[in-house]
Structure 1
Amino acid sequence: MRKVHRCRFSILSRICLISFIILATFTFINQEIFKLNNCRGLEQDSAVPTSSIPSRYLLIPYREFAYRTSISCNAYKLDQPDKELSQLHPKYSQYLRGAFPYVIPYTNITYEDVENFYNTKSNKSRLAMRQISFASNIEFENIPYKYENGMWSPIGVTSAQRTAILVPLQDRDYNAKAFLLNMHAFARRQLLTYLIVIIEQVYPINSRFNKGRLYNAGVRYIQQNQQKLNITCFILHDVDLIPENDGNFYTCESKHPKHTTLRIRKLNSTSDYSRFYEFLIGGALILTFDMYKRVNGFSNLFWGWGGEDDDLSLRFIQRRACVVRPSYELANYIALPHSNGRSNNARFKLLTWSTVRLDTDGYNKIDSMIRIVHILNTSTVLHLKIDVDANHIYYKSASIGNSQLIYNKTYADLTTTRGPVTTRVAKKLTSM
């Protein structure tokens, strides 16, 4: 009997050993195929030689990771501050009404119209509808507010936080005006002390959008003017989104970033809301400067639509951070119509090594990459016009043969958006 048992055990051991060897071999082959496919893609889509990127940087099959990963904090409740008039939280505002009556203005609206609207005192009652040349049936309440030292603040109340709403922009002026018209009214319902900053990309001419550099530039400008503004909370906000419920509080949480864009529906659409995926943090993200600096802000390498928000999610994960979210009933948004931007075909390749670039590609490098072309400061908007490629490497790279040198100068710029530029445009930018 003992011999029989030993024989069975020996056969079983051999089967397990053979299975293990087969499995290990199969896994190794798959990994090598994955590396080979990624390297071929990089070689075709990027001006940077494949040898510039060590294979160890290709850390994850990004798409699978994003679909399977949630960045939400587990078992965490939003802050529940006490009612205190010296530091009033929006939840205790007397002007909360629930549904927010957003206004879709006519296309003839101007920035001056928005400015005059919020600086002209109305003698009508707080709930009276107002008819104006650029909009009809405006139901915004006349909440007592004052503008002082670059910030709007409620009269008779001290807000819990001082908030900067940062809005990146390129070629969507109508959306920007509609956003300003609505967001001032929304912020006042919550009795926020706030300013709205539009960060517009104006150079390079006809280039793809670089939202990451614009956000980094906006945060940098605020930090350089902190002595005057004393901002304690940043709201990173897409220009085409308007909140639909004033119970969606635009305040920073004490421990975690807050993502509030849970459900979106297109204006005049008959379809239901589209829901976010668990890895998403784009749309409206609310966080402190310390939280932003901890992940080194946004990557500076994403040119065109897509990728920069997911790159930021990967940075949060790398820094062991998660995001909190309000309830589905409150975090609803209307999406204003706009033309689609040009997509970033290199985004998935960039995302495979996001966390390796975290310390060398982001907020801490923004000073050398951007230049403020013009500043317009009115009571309703701080409008920064930005050259997002101030050192002009983006243009020069098309004519310089040594792409390895370009790689070093631009902190591994793998984007596929380089294209020929006329001599006239290049000279104009260089002379600025």
Structure 2
Amino acid sequence: MAGGDSSVKFLLLHRTCKLVVLLCFLHISVTVFFYVRSLDVRFSFVQNQQHSNVSSTQTNQVRHTGFTSGTEPKVVLTTKEEHREEPKVSEQPKEEKKKKEEVEPEKKLEKCPETSPLLVGPLRVEFTSPVNLDQIKDQNPNLQPGGRFRPRDCEAVMKVAIIIPFRKREEHLKFWLFYLHPILQRQQLDYGVYVINQDGDQIFNRAKLLNVGYLEALKDYDYECFVFSDVDLIPMDDHNTYKCFSQPRHLSVSMDKFGFRLPYNQYFGGVSSMSKEQYLKINGFPNNYWGWGGEDDDIFNRLSSKGMSISRPSGDVGKCRMIHHDRDKKNDPNPQRFDRIAHTRDTMHKDGINSLSYQVVKTERLDLFTKVTVDVGKP
């Protein structure tokens, strides 16, 4: 019995040891398995962290991205050491577009109509209420320095220089500017106003000042038409266009001074216009008419001798009002005028623009006109 018990115990112990060994092996296997799993998890974690850092860097770069044209970005790279901005990718198209615009010519305007649609017809012209230059400037905001204007919406049919012989008639000039600037703008002219001021106290020479105005205006611009106007004459209808025609034009047809009638058929005084070709054909105006009167008839004779005739608007359209005044000092009637008029054909080729002499004292580009003060000498 004792031997049998020992055999049983030994078998039991042996099985127990095998079970323990099996459990230990199982434990070790489980431990190894989980150890290996933990290594894989840690490796994946590290990879995820690296990927996250890369994504974070890219996200930060995107946050520094600016857009200039709506299509291509501007990238700014930022480091601790320096802040550096890469060239704008979209700037090149802008520069190319700007260069293209500079190369391409501006769209050419259409010609203004021969008769402006802005005209209003008969005008009320009064000289009772004084005007000042600031008021005139405010009412004509589109004027350029020197009394220059050109239409914005169309190309003017003519480039016109308005020439005014002048001396000590400031109040008359204010009225002229007040009325004429709006009229000339409604007529859609490309024009400039030149006041030719005779310096000193010598006898007045209207025709010579007109010659000076012709040359001085051409120094500024390629005018093709010249309107010669006394400072005291205002048109009463804006259909009386201050431009040139196929024949020399007499614009002040019917003045209130003469009862709104033409004083005589050869009369060419007050306001007239000639193209450059017409003016040069008669050698300009005479320079030797000192004092009042005679030069208008001399000009008429010059035109007639060259086969030109005088064109005029109708009496109603050509109405003008004169600012009444006493005769200026140093502008007494010229006693030699009748003799000179009789010899126009003999003198016109040597007395005119080809023999003009004068000295510019000062040129002023004012808001409403260009004032040229000149010394025209003496008789």
Q: Deviations over 1:210-250 (max 9, x none)?
A: 0111001010112233xxx2211110111111000111122
Equivalent runs, 1:314-393 vs 2, <5 Å: 314-340=301-327, 341-366=331-356, 369-389=357-377
Per the alignment, residue 86 of structure 1 pairs with 110
Paired residue type of 2:332: R
- For residue 103 of structure 1, report the CA deviation from its aligned partner: 4.9
Q: Please, which of 127, 130, 136 is the counterpart of residue 114 of structure 1?
A: 136
> SS in structure 1 opposite 2:208?
helix
Matched with 1:96 is: 119
In structure 2, distance between residues paired with 1:381 and 1:264: 25
One-letter amino acid of the counterpart of residue 252, structure 1: C
2:191 to 189, 194, 203: 194
Q: Distance in 1 between matches of 2:234 and 2:147?
A: 23
Q: Does 1:264 align with 2:255?
A: yes
Letter in structure 2 aligned against 1:263: S
Identify the residue that residue 40 of structure 2 maps to in structure 1.
Answer: none
Q: Given the alignment, which residue of 166, 171, 174 partners 1:174?
A: 171
Q: Which amino acid aligns with 1:216?
A: N
Using structure 1 for the length normalisation, give the TM-score: 0.59
C-alpha distance in 1 between matches for 2:176 and 2:143: 20
2:158 to 152, 161, 167: 161
Distance in 2 (CA, whole Å) between partners of 1:296 and 1:211 is 16
* Distance in 1 separating the partners of 2:359 and 2:145: 27
Query: How high is the TM-score relative to the length of structure 2?
Result: 0.67
How far did 1:113 drift?
A: 4.4
**Cα distance in 2 between the residues matched to 1:338 and 1:185:** 24
Query: Would you say the 8 A contact 1:248–1:330 is kept in 2?
Result: yes
Corresponding letter in the other structure for 1:176:
L
Q: Which residue of 2 aligns with 1:8?
A: none
Q: Name the amino acid aligned to 2:369.
A: V
Letter in 2 for 1:346: Q
Opposite residue 213 of structure 1, the aligned amino acid is: K
Identify the residue that residue 213 of structure 2 maps to in structure 1.
Answer: 218
Structure 1: which 4+ aligned runs deviate by more than 6 Å? Answer: none
Q: Partners in 1 of 2:146 and 2:122 — Cα distance?
A: 31
Count, aligned residues: 269
CA distance 1:158–1:148, shift in 2 (3 Å): farther
1:105 shift after superposition: 6.2
Q: 1:146 to 1:383 in 2, by over 3 A?
A: closer
Contact 2:145/2:365 (8 A) holds in 1: no
Q: Distance in 1 between matches of 2:312 and 2:196?
A: 26
Where structure 1 has 5 or more consecutive residues not aligned to the other structure, the ranges are 1-84, 120-144, 395-417, 419-432
CA distance in 2, matches of 1:300, 1:349: 15
Distance in 2 between the 1:311 and 1:220 partners? Answer: 20
Distance 1:148 1:345, change over 3 A: closer
For residue 263 of structure 2, what is the amino acid of its counterpart?
A: F
Q: Indicate if the aligned counterparts of 2:151 and 2:190 stay in contact, CA closer than 8 A.
A: yes
Q: Which secondary structure does the structure 2 equivalent of 1:188 belong to? A: helix
1:236 is the counterpart of 2:228: yes
For 1:262, the aligned partner's letter is V
What are the residue-to-residue correspondences of 1:138-157 with 2, within 5 Å?
145=142, 147=144, 151-157=148-154
State the distance in 1 between where 2:375 and 2:349 align. Answer: 23
Tell me, yes or no, if the aligned pair for 2:196 and 2:374 is still in contact at 8 Å.
yes
Deviations 1:327-353 (A, max 9, x none): 112110001112214111111111121
Counterparts of 1:219 and 1:346, CA distance in 2? 25
Deviation at 1:180, TM superposition (A): 1.0
Match of 1:348, as an amino acid? F
Aligned amino acid, residue 363 of structure 1: I
CA RMSD of aligned residues (A): 2.2
> Alpha-carbon deviation of 1:146?
5.3
Offset from partner CA, 1:148-201 (integer Å, 9 cap, x none): 797311221211111111110122221111111111011012111111111111
Instruction: Check 1:247–1:150 CA distance in 2 against 1; reply closer, same or farther (3 A cut).
Output: closer
Mapped contact 2:146–2:370 kept (Cα < 8 A): no
Alignment correspondent of 1:73: none
Equivalent position amino acid for 1:224 in 2: K
Shift of 1:95: 1.5
Displacement of 1:118 in angstroms is 2.4
Identity in percent: 26
Amino acid at match of 2:204: F
| Paired residues of 1:90 and 1:249 also in contact (CA < 8 A) | no
For residue 291 of structure 2, the aligned residue among 283, 291, 304 is: 304
Q: Equivalents in 1 of 2:314, 2:224: separation in Å? A: 24
